[in-house]
Amino acid sequence: MSNLTEKAIKASALKLLNEKPVSQITIKDIVEDCGINRNSFYYHFRDLPSLLEEMVMEQAEEIIAEYPTIDSLEECIEAAISFAMNNRKAVMHIYNSVSRDIYEEYLWRVCQHVVTVYINSITKNYRVSDYDREAFISFYKCSCFGLILDWQRNGMKSDIKKQFLRMLELKKDLIEEYAERFSEADAKADSAGSKQ
């Protein structure tokens, strides 16, 4: 029963977030919407920010679990923006609230995951050092995160998928080119070392 109550609270909160800004949502609104009393709410959550944090981080974990592998550019962007696309108003309300840092932490974790999985799939056939792989991941994670935040800052009006896919298509060849170059340099260094 406790788990069902928690799910009901989260469902009501998400429903309300899709209707109005965070600053206009009260604990009373949530408990009335899901038909529980205030004590039940406080049994599960300390306050509205702690509820939002749990909801958002739970969503990040679900996306990470849903995408253990990413084989294409399309999957990469789908994973990174799936929650925002399905809950545009809720995401904009969280983004434009004092709880923005919670959403940014969620987005950072999701970008870290999708970019790491994607970069690992691209570079798996090359000899790329851990240092270089981490540099690729850091660069693309920051690009992904920044592009999505910029899209949100502008009201989520542009075609983020088209922008993101184009950016990644332009950069994909660079990753493979650098991976090949680094692999060749490592192979030459290994060859020179074995001759000595």
DSSP string, 43-69: HH-SSHHHHHHHHHHHHHHHHHHH-S-
User: Which residues of the chain have a pLDDT value below 70?
Assistant: 1, 73, 168-169, 171-176, 178-179, 182-196
Q: What is the pLDDT of residue 185?
A: 58
- Give the CATH fold of the 1-45 domain: Arc Repressor Mutant, subunit A (1.10.10)
Q: What is the pLDDT of residue 81?
A: 86
Q: What is the pLDDT of residue 164?
A: 74
How far is Cα of residue 120 from the mean position of the Cα atoms in its chain? Answer: 17
Contact 142, 105 (CB under 8 A): no
Centre a 10 Å sphere on the Cβ of residue 35 and count the other Cβ atoms it contains.
10
What SS3 string covers 146-173? HHHHHHHHCCCCCCHHHHHHHHHHHHHH
pTM to 2 decimal places: 0.80
Q: What is the pLDDT of residue 132?
A: 84
Q: What is the pLDDT of residue 109?
A: 93
Q: What is the pLDDT of residue 182?
A: 63
Contact 22, 48 (CB under 8 A): yes
Q: What is the pLDDT of residue 166?
A: 77
Q: What is the pLDDT of residue 179?
A: 65
